[in-house]
Amino acid sequence: MTLALQTAPRRVVLMGVSGCGKSTVGDGLAERLGWRFVEGDSLHPPENVAKMAAGQPLDDADRAGWLATLADLLEGAQTQGQGLVISCSALKRSYRERLRDGDPQALFVHLSGSRELIAQRIARRTHRYMPASLLESQFATLQPPGADEQALALDVRLPPSALIEAVAQHLQAPHLQDPHLQAQTCPSP
């Protein structure tokens, strides 16, 4: 049974550097909640894909149209009262602000881990255009969500099922600040 009947439709953005598990957790969370999942990387224009495949990091100008597309998806889901889960690196605060233009109440879930752990994960996987050489530029760009942002930080050392459960619980009772739950789901990487 999904939590769709118990959890009011929200828009959730799974964020973090490449290799942190955004797609795995996002797909599982959407399935668990009965919501739509959008793999943000699938919406990059061909120029961005070619640039990344060549080992060149994207800059703010490269990301502008892509972020606008994702913000439009968030806005459409909010307007229609639909739940939506999107995977998107959202590395900078300005990127998250652009996405919030689509839905100011979107919850950002930062899947956080050490450089070493993420590098190990990337070394074990193949990605059609995101080479491991770009990981360092992503960590250099990363601005973790601030305390004033509507965000949840989770440690990727936890299995995907535990990460999915933590987000689902947060969505069911976002007003509860259970320090025990946070200690279990958000240890320092």
User: What pLDDT is stored for residue 128 in this prediction?
Assistant: 56
Residue from 145, 109, 142, 102 nearest 21 by CA = 109
Do residues 16 and 111 lie in contact, with contact meaning Cβ atoms separated by under 8 Å? yes
pLDDT of residue 126 exceeding 80, the answer is no
Q: Check whether 26 has a pLDDT greater than 60.
A: yes
- CATH 3.40.50.300 is right for the domain spanning 13-185: yes
Average pLDDT, integer, range 113-123 = 89
Burial of 156 (0-12, 13-18, 19+ CB in 10 A): buried
Residue scoring higher pLDDT (184 or 148) = 148
pTM: 0.85
Q: What is the pLDDT of residues 62-102, one digit of tens each?
A: 999 999 999 999 999 999 999 999 999 999 999 999 999 99
**Is a pLDDT exceeding 90 seen at residue 107?**
yes
Residues 36-55, mean pLDDT to the nearest whole number: 89
Rounded-to-integer distance, Cα 174 and Cα 107, Å: 10
Asked whether the predicted pLDDT for residue 158 surpasses 80, the reply is yes
